[in-house]
């Protein structure tokens, strides 16, 4: 919070959005501002359409009187676009500012076709989704994109992504902003890009475990990656490389798509399980094929998934010892009973009891929508952060 007298409209909005202060009186108490100053700051937020008055709250005074009018974040003034890109498939959606999915589409998009074509197609998807949701393109305040590779969040570019050939260093934000404009005719909007496991973790933690101060999600699909949320914020490391556990060496001789040998992803990912099944004559080319086989109860797929779970669980014993999370969530194509059983076997065998005493090992709650929800939340938290609210209010002339 800024010094007394310097508390901005953006900081008042943050207090309301978080639920820490939802009446004018509570805002005065929380900030030390005068009634008049609070009123002036709030007036700017009302004129922008970002706040609205709700129902009357409880009467605080023992002498009675009129109930205080509550203040609410008005989520109807804008919408967010989000997309979750996998190696051969993508999902896209229109979301409200509070994370409700208003329209959704999924289909085939192949990352190996290159960023120009894939992002151009996403722009077309967004145009159709807005029409389906009954919203104008001018209502979009931002776009969030989840990608299956490490992202330098400062630039929004992927850095040496093993399973995204042709995307290294590409200006994803600029191209997707142009694709949105080309498809809708609306002015470009801010685009935020992050790793898919990061955004899945962000979405799952916020939706299901908001009080968990250390949350880890592990996505096991074509590759293996982890997202870490600490005290409500994503932990990305120095340049976006945190959580890339798929390239921890596990001593095997299998060659990984990154060019090294013995990476965890080379032996325990959905792609690795698919290759082993194919070698045994079972038609499987990807993690999604393995997911379908597991759903059908295929015995060989189940056995290999359990074995892969044990290999991942061995690595996660170190992760849990290092981070001491309250929740470890398993997500992705292999996140079923067989894989989870294997994870638990090795995790609890190798990790110290102290590290697992308060650990909950769970599977995804949001399923395939986790990345979309996380991408949408990332955009909202970025655009409505106190310092950015002030910039945007000035741009709106209020």
pLDDT (tens digit per residue) in 215-231: 999 999 988 999 999 99
CA atoms within a 13 Å half-sphere pointing along the CA-CB vector of 252: 18
**Structure tokens given for 375:** 């991408």
State the first-to-last Cα distance of the chain, in angstroms, to the nearest integer.
Answer: 22
Rounded Cα gap, residues 234 and 246, in angstroms = 19
Q: How far is CA 17 from CA 1, 135, 357, in A?
A: 15, 23, 34
pLDDT score recorded for residue 240: 87
What is the Cα–Cα distance from 294 to 376, expressed in whole angstroms? Answer: 30
Q: Residue 272 and residue 308: Cα distance in Å, rounded?
A: 9
Q: What is the pTM of this model?
A: 0.92
* Angle subtended by helix axes 24-31 and 9-18, to nearest 10: 110
Give, to the nearest 10 degrees, the angle between helix 196-208 and helix 370-383: 80
The residues facing 90 across adjacent strands are 85, 107
Alpha-carbon distance of 234 to 201, in angstroms, equals 8
pLDDT value of residue 55 = 72
Rounded CA separation 268/304 (Å): 9
CB 224 within 8 A of CB 211: no
Burial profile 143-162: b = 16 or more Cβ within 10 angstroms, e = fewer: bbbbbbbbbbbeebbbeebb
Residue whose structure tokens are 């968990």? 212
Neighbour tally for 190: CB within 10 Å? 15
**How far is it, in rounded angstroms, from Cα 210 to Cα 24?**
26
Q: Are 176 and 191 in contact (CB under 8 A)?
A: yes
**Cα–Cα distance between 45 and 7 in angstroms, integer?**
14
The 8 Å CB, 24+ separation contacts for 58-65 are 60/25
How far does CA 47 lie from the centroid of its chain? Answer: 30
C-alpha to C-alpha distance for 361 and 358, rounded to whole angstroms: 10
Note whether 257 and 247 are within 8 A (CB): no
* pLDDT per residue rounded down to tens, the chain (398 residues): 555 458 999 999 999 999 999 999 999 999 999 999 999 999 999 999 999 998 765 545 454 556 678 999 999 999 999 999 998 899 999 999 999 999 999 999 999 999 999 999 999 999 999 999 999 999 999 999 999 999 998 899 998 888 899 999 999 999 999 999 999 999 999 999 999 999 999 999 999 999 999 999 999 998 899 999 999 999 999 888 899 999 999 977 889 988 899 999 999 999 999 999 999 999 998 898 999 999 999 999 999 999 999 999 999 999 999 999 999 999 999 999 999 999 999 999 999 999 999 999 999 999 999 999 999 999 999 999 999 999 999 999 99
- In angstroms, the CA 236 to CA 215 distance is 13
Q: What is the DSSP string of 311-372?
A: HHHHHHHHHHHHH--SEEEEESTT-SHHHHHHHHHHHHHHS-HHHHTT-EEEE-SSGGGHHH
CA distance 328 to 304: 22
The DSSP symbol for 269 reads S
Report the alpha-carbon distance of residue 178 to residue 184 in Å, rounded.
10
């Amino acid at each position: 919070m800024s010094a007394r007298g310097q508390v901005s409209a953006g900081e008042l909005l943050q207090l309301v959005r978080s639920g820490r202060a939802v009446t004018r009186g509570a805002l005065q108490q929380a900030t030390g501002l005068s009634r008049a100053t609070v009123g002036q700051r709030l007036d700017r937020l009302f004129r922008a359409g970002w706040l609205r008055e709700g129902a009357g709250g409880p009467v605080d005074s023992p002498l009675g009187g009129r109930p205080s009018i509550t203040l609410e974040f008005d989520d109807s003034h804008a919408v967010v676009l989000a997309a979750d890109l996998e190696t051969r498939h993508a999902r896209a959606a229109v979301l409200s500012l509070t994370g409700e999915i208003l329209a959704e589409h999924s289909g085939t998009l192949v990352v190996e076709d290159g960023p120009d074509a894939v992002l151009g197609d996403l722009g077309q998807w967004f145009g159709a989704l807005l029409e389906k949701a009954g919203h104008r393109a001018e209502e979009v305040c931002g776009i969030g994109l989840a990608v299956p590779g490490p992202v330098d969040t400062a630039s929004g570019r992927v850095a040496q992504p093993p399973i995204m050939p042709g995307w290294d260093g590409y200006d994803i934000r600029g191209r997707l902003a142009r694709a949105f404009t080309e498809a809708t005719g609306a002015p470009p909007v801010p685009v935020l890009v992050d790793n898919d496991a990061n955004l899945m973790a962000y979405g799952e933690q916020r939706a299901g475990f908001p009080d968990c101060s250390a949350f880890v999600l592990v996505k096991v699909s074509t590759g293996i990656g982890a997202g870490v949320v600490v005290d409500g914020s994503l932990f990305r490391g120095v340049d976006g490389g945190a959580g890339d556990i798929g390239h921890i060496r596990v001593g095997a001789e299998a060659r990984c798509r990154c060019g090294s040998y013995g990476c965890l992803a080379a032996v325990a990912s959905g792609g690795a399980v698919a290759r082993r099944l194919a070698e045994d004559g079972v038609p499987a080319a990807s993690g999604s094929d393995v997911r379908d086989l597991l759903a059908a109860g295929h015995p060989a797929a189940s056995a290999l998934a359990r074995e892969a779970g044990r290999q991942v669980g061995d690595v996660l014993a170190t992760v849990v010892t290092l981070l001491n999370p309250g929740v470890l969530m398993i997500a992705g194509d292999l996140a079923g009973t067989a894989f989870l059983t294997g994870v638990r076997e090795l995790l609890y065998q190798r990790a110290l009891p102290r590290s697992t005493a308060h650990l909950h090992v769970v599977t995804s709650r949001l399923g395939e929508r986790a990345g979309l929800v996380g991408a949408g939340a990332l955009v909202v938290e970025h655009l409505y952060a106190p310092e950015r609210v002030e910039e945007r209010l000035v741009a709106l002339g209020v």
